[in-house]
Amino acid sequence: MKEIARIFRYATGLNKFIVSIAILSLVVSASLLVTPFVIKYATDVIVAIASGQGGNLAQLWPLLAIIGGSSLLVVVLNSINGYLGDILAARLRQQLSERYYQHLLALPQSYYDETETGKIINRLSRAISDISQFINQLANNFLQMLITVGVSIAIMWWYSPWVAVIIGAQIPVYIFLGAQSSKKWTKFQKQHNTLYDKASSRFAEVIGQMKVVKSFNSQQREYASFQRRFGKMVGITYKQSRHWYFYSTLRTACQAVVYTAVYAILFIATAQRAMSIGDMVLLLTLVQQTRMPLQFINFYIDMYQKAVTNSQDYEEVMRTKPDVDTGSKDVDVAGKDIVYDKVSFAYEAKDKRVLQAVSFTIPAGSRVALVGASGGGKSTLANLLMRLYEPQSGAIVIGGIAISDMPLARLRNQIATVFQEAALFSGTIRENIAYGMPWATDEQIQSAAKQANAYEFIMELPKGFDTKVGERGTKLSGGQKQRIAIARAILKDAPILILDEATSALDTRSERAVQEALDRLMQGRTVLIIAHRLSTIAEVDKIITLKRGKVDEIGTPAELAKSGGIYNQLLDLQMGGSSANQKKLKKYDIAV
Ligand SMILES: Nc1ncnc2c1ncn2[C@@H]1O[C@H](COP(=O)(O)OP(=O)(O)O)[C@@H](O)[C@H]1O
Ligand SMILES: [Mg+2]
Q: Are 476 and 470 in contact (CB under 8 A)?
A: no
Q: Read off the pLDDT of residues 480-499 as tens digits, 9 standing for 90 and up.
A: 899 999 999 999 999 999 99
474: pLDDT strictly greater than 70 = no
- C-alpha distance across the termini of the chain, in Å: 64
Residue 398 pLDDT level (bands cut at 50, 70, 90): very high
**Ligand 1 site-directed mutation target among 113, 115, 347, most atoms within 8 Å of CB:** 347
DSSP for 136-166, written as a single string: HHIIIIIHHHHHHHHHHHHHHHHH-HHHHHH
Amino acid, res. 174: Y
pTM of the model: 0.80
State the greatest distance between any 2 C-alpha atoms of the chain, in Å, as a whole number: 126
What is the pLDDT, as a whole number, of residue 471? 65
Other CB atoms within 10 A of residue 169 CB: 11
Q: Read off the pLDDT of residues 315-330 as tens digits, 9 standing for 90 and up.
A: 888 999 988 888 889 8
Q: Are 57 and 49 in contact (CB under 8 A)?
A: yes
Q: Read off the pLDDT of residues 193-227 as tens digits, 9 standing for 90 and up.
A: 889 888 988 998 898 889 889 988 999 999 999 99
CATH fold match for the domains 2-319 and 364-390+405-586: no
Residue with the smallest CA separation from ligand 1 atom 18 is 379
**Integer Cα distance of 360 and 571 in angstroms:** 23
What is the pLDDT, as a whole number, of residue 496? 96
CA of 375 to the centre of ligand 2 (A): 7
Burial of 350 (0-12, 13-18, 19+ CB in 10 A): exposed
Percent of the chain topping pLDDT 70:
99
CA of 401 to the centre of ligand 1 (A): 26
C-alpha distances out from residue 125 to 115, 189, 310, Å:
16, 15, 10
Q: Are 140 and 26 in contact (CB under 8 A)?
A: no
509: pLDDT strictly greater than 80 = no
Pairing mode of beta strands 496-500, 415-418: parallel
**Integer Cα distance of 469 and 476 in angstroms:** 7
Q: Is the CB of 549 under 6 A from ligand 1?
A: no
**Integer Cα distance of 333 and 339 in angstroms:** 12
Q: Is the CB of 376 under 6 A from ligand 1?
A: yes
**Atom in ligand 1 nearest the alpha carbon of residue 110:** 1
What is the pLDDT, as a whole number, of residue 302? 78
Pairing mode of beta strands 496-500, 338-345: unpaired
CA of 355 to the centre of ligand 2 (A): 13
Q: Read off the pLDDT of residues 115-162 as tens digits, 9 standing for 90 and up.
A: 888 888 888 888 888 888 888 787 777 878 888 899 899 999 999 999
Q: Is the CB of 372 under 6 A from ligand 1?
A: yes
Ligand nearest to the CA of 378: 1
Q: Is the CB of 117 under 6 A from ligand 1?
A: no
Q: Is the CB of 378 under 6 A from ligand 1?
A: yes
Burial 481-492 (b: 16+ CB within 10 A, else e): bbbbbbbbbbbb
**Ligand 1 site-directed mutation target among 345, 379, 530, 588, most atoms within 8 Å of CB:** 379
The domain ranges of the chain are: 2-319, 364-390+405-586
- Say which residue, 471 or 505, is predicted with more confidence: 505
Apex 544 CA angle, 543 and 547, nearest 5: 140
DSSP for 264-312, written as a single string: HHHHHHHHTTSS-HHHHHHHHHHHHHHHHHHHTHHHHHHHHHHHHHHHH
- Say which residue, 34 or 362, is predicted with more confidence: 362
Q: Are 571 and 562 in contact (CB under 8 A)?
A: no
**Integer Cα distance of 244 and 184 in angstroms:** 9
Residue with the smallest CA separation from ligand 1 atom 24 is 375
Q: What is the mean pLDDT of the chain?
A: 89
Residue 1 pLDDT level (bands cut at 50, 70, 90): low
Ligand nearest to the CA of 349: 1
397: pLDDT strictly greater than 80 = yes
**Integer Cα distance of 377 and 379 in angstroms:** 6
Residue 52 pLDDT level (bands cut at 50, 70, 90): confident
Q: Are 152 and 170 in contact (CB under 8 A)?
A: no
Residue with the smallest CA separation from ligand 1 atom 2 is 347
What is the pLDDT, as a whole number, of residue 211? 84
- CATH number, domain 364-390+405-586: 3.40.50.300
3-state DSSP assignment of residue 497 = strand
231: pLDDT strictly greater than 70 = yes
The residue-averaged pLDDT of 21-46 equals 89
Ligand nearest to the CA of 547: 1
Amino acid, res. 538: A
Q: Could you tell me how far CA 137 lies from the centroid of its own chain?
A: 24
The residue-averaged pLDDT of 278-303 equals 86
Of the candidates 558, 565, 553, the residue with the CA atom closest to the CA atom of residue 538: 558
**Atom in ligand 1 nearest the alpha carbon of residue 348:** 4
82: pLDDT strictly greater than 90 = no
What is the pLDDT, as a whole number, of residue 473? 62
Q: Are 450 and 383 in contact (CB under 8 A)?
A: no
Stretch (H or E) spanning 498? strand 496-500
Name the most confidently modeled range: 284-298, 302-316, 372-386: 372-386
CA of 383 to the centre of ligand 1 (A): 10
Q: Are 49 and 56 in contact (CB under 8 A)?
A: yes
- Say which residue, 9 or 52, is predicted with more confidence: 52
- CATH number, domain 2-319: 1.20.1560.10
What is the pLDDT, as a whole number, of residue 299? 79
The contacts of residue 459 (CB under 8 Å, 6+ apart) are: none
**Integer Cα distance of 555 and 199 in angstroms:** 51
Amino acid, res. 165: V
338: pLDDT strictly greater than 90 = yes
Name the most confidently modeled range: 46-60, 136-150, 393-407, 531-545: 393-407
Q: Are 365 and 522 in contact (CB under 8 A)?
A: no
- Say which residue, 498 or 314, is predicted with more confidence: 498
472: pLDDT strictly greater than 70 = no
What is the pLDDT, as a whole number, of residue 68? 94
The residue-averaged pLDDT of 455-483 equals 86
